[in-house]
Amino acid sequence: MSDDGRIAAWIAGARNEDPQATRALGEYVRTLAREVCRRSSASAMGSADWEDVAQEAAIRVFGTGLQRFQGTGSARGYLYSIVKASLLQTLRSERRRKAREMTAESSPAADWPSGSFGTDPARDAAAMLDRLDDGCRQLIENVFFHGVAYARLAREENLAESSIRARVSRCLRTLRLASSERDDHE
């Protein structure tokens, strides 16, 4: 059986939930990812690791890739295109993450809700923060007053950075509502 025939058999076996074929296909995807990354220049790879590419490729292959393979073309070529797309996605994600870290290191104070503060802005801010639940208050204090980066908070909470950003956004929305209610009552 040719390499391509063996790979097609692994794909068919993995579709039928054969553990041996699934394991063999997974190992092949890892090997292919290592090979593709080794061929890419070090400057193009940046800080991305071949294992990140292999993980992204495995998610794509086992997510929808098994069902999409029609068996009419080269199985190796099909997997190779998935690994190349995974490499590009990993590099884009890495570039976006670095850009977010750069902006996260700068002060996110621009996101702080504007409103009319009295003569003591610190007291007014403390009063607004008192309207938040403990989780939101701690998160807002960490981000805006202590300058903790989103990436660091995500690592500490064992969450995706996007989840931290979404939480901050929700907390800020609550703060804005509290600020507008305060302004309406004055």
Q: For the segment 103-139, what is each residue's pLDDT rounded down to a tens digit? A: 655 545 545 555 544 555 666 677 778 888 888 889 8
pTM score over 0.85: no
Domain definitions of the chain by residue range: 3-105, 108-185
Q: For the segment 48-63, what is each residue's pLDDT rounded down to a tens digit? A: 678 888 888 888 888 8
Q: Give yes or no for a contact between 21 and 12, defined as CB atoms under 8 angstroms apart.
A: yes
CATH architecture of 3-105: Orthogonal Bundle (1.10)
CATH 1.10.10.10 for the 108-185 domain, yes or no:
yes
Considering only CA atoms, which of 133, 134, 139 is closest in space to residue 167? 139
Specify burial of residue 162 (Cβ count, 10 A radius: 0-12, 13-18, 19+): exposed
